[in-house]
Amino acid sequence: MICENYSDPVDVEELLLSLEIGFRHLNPQYPQMEAKLSHTEHHQKLINIVINNGDEVTADLLHAWTSTSSSHEQYMALDVCVGHLVNMQYPSQRLRRLVIRFVELIGYQGFEQVGVEGFVGLLNDLHVSVRDMDVKTYWARLLLDTIQSSEGVQHLSHPYWELLVELAISESQTLKGHAYSPQIITFLLKASEWDKLECWLGVVWIVWPPNDDETTEKDMKNVMQLLFYHQPSAIQKLKQWMVRWSIECYVDAPLSFRQICRQALEGVQQDTM
C-alpha cells in the first residue's frame, strides 16, 4: 500500500525505508544501515497511515527510523513523530522499548513542540528504568533538564527522581558542567515534597557540592535540617548514596557533607527536645 502511493519511486533511499517498514524482522547484522532521513510530505503521510494501524506497525516505523543512522542531526528529524507519541498508550513491550530509544536519541529539546507537560506525561507512562537505557549519560542530562523545568519539578513521578540519583552516582563526571537551578529546592520546600527533596539533595551533593561560601553551607544546613525533621529516614538514605558514589567514582565524599549532616541532625534533636 505504501509503495503504490509513490507516483515515481525514483528515490531509492525513500523506497528502501518504506520496504523496511513493511517487514517486521530487519536484518540484525546491519542495525546501523545508513539512510538519509530528509523528511518530505511522503513521510508525514506515512506516519499518519502507519501510527493509526496498531502497535506493531508503529514499532516497525520507529525501528526503521531509529536504526538507519548514527547521525544526531538525522535523529532530530524524527521530531515529526513526536505529536503522535505523547498521546499513545504503550501496552506492547516492543513498542515501549522503541519509544524509550526514540526519546533517548532526540532528547529533551526534541519534544519542545509538545511542551514540557506533554513530555513529562510521556515519561510517566513509559516507566523508564536503567535496564531500558542504551546511554545512561543521555538520560541523566535529560532528567536534569526535565526536573529543572516548572512542569517537570511538579509532575515528574517520584521514581524518576530516584533514578536520577542512581544516574548521578555513575555519571557524575559527565554532569559537572550542567546548569544548576536553586529554585528547585525552594519549590520542593514550599510544596513539602520531602521524598523528592531527599533525592534532589542527593543529586546536589554529588554533582554540585556546596563550596566553602559560608552562606551557601548555612543554607544547605537549614534545608537538610527541615528535611531530617520531616523525614528522619533521609539521614541514612543520603549517607548511603554518598558512600556508594565515593566507592564507585574513587573520590572522597566532601567533608562539608558530614559536617552539615551532623549540624542539621543536632538542630533537629534540639527542636524535638
For residue 1, give the C-alpha cell: 500500500
pLDDT in the model for residue 206: 93
Asked if residue 230 and residue 177 are part of one domain, the reply reads yes
Asked if residue 25 and residue 120 are part of one domain, the reply reads yes
Residue 187: CB atoms within 10 Å: 16
Asked if residue 106 and residue 196 are part of one domain, the reply reads no
| Cα(101)–Cα(113) distance, integer angstroms | 19
Distances (CA, A) of 264 to 54, 122, 229, 268: 55, 38, 9, 6
Contact 192, 226 (CB under 8 A): no
Residue 143 lies in a domain: no
User: What's the start-to-end Cα distance of the chain, in Å?
Assistant: 76
Asked if residue 174 and residue 55 are part of one domain, the reply reads no
Asked if residue 93 and residue 36 are part of one domain, the reply reads yes
Asked if residue 222 and residue 169 are part of one domain, the reply reads yes
* Residue range 193-207: mean pLDDT, rounded: 96
Contact 142, 107 (CB under 8 A): yes
For residue 197, give the C-alpha cell: 527533596
> Locate cell 572522597: which residue?
252
Q: Which residue range is the domain that position 104 belongs to?
A: 1-127
| Cα(86)–Cα(88) distance, integer angstroms | 6
Mean pLDDT of the chain: 80
* DSSP 8-state secondary structure symbol assigned to residue 239: H
Amino acid letter, residue 251:
V
pLDDT in the model for residue 69: 47
Contact 236, 214 (CB under 8 A): no
| Cα(214)–Cα(210) distance, integer angstroms | 9
Asked if residue 187 and residue 99 are part of one domain, the reply reads no
Asked if residue 80 and residue 32 are part of one domain, the reply reads yes
| Cα(173)–Cα(207) distance, integer angstroms | 8
> Locate cell 504503550: which residue?
90
Residue 175 lies in a domain: yes
Per-residue confidence at 212, pLDDT binned at 50, 70, 90?
Answer: low
- Taking alpha carbons only, the member of 101, 113, 182, 183 closest to residue 142 is 101
| Cα(262)–Cα(54) distance, integer angstroms | 57
Asked if residue 168 and residue 121 are part of one domain, the reply reads no
Asked if residue 101 and residue 7 are part of one domain, the reply reads yes
Map residue 254 onto helix, strand or coil. Answer: coil
- Taking alpha carbons only, the member of 145, 135, 134, 206 closest to residue 123 is 145
For residue 230, give the C-alpha cell: 520531616
Express each pLDDT in 135-185 by its tens digit.
999 999 999 999 999 899 999 999 999 999 999 999 998 898 888 888 999
pLDDT in the model for residue 13: 52
Asked if residue 252 and residue 170 are part of one domain, the reply reads yes
| Cα(208)–Cα(202) distance, integer angstroms | 10
pTM: 0.80
For the chain, what is the domain count? 2
Least confident of 37-41, 126-130, 143-147, 193-197: 37-41
134 Cβ neighbours under 8 A, 6+ residues apart: 101, 104
Express each pLDDT in 15-26 by its tens digit.
555 555 544 344
Express each pLDDT in 237-257 by its tens digit.
999 999 999 999 888 888 889
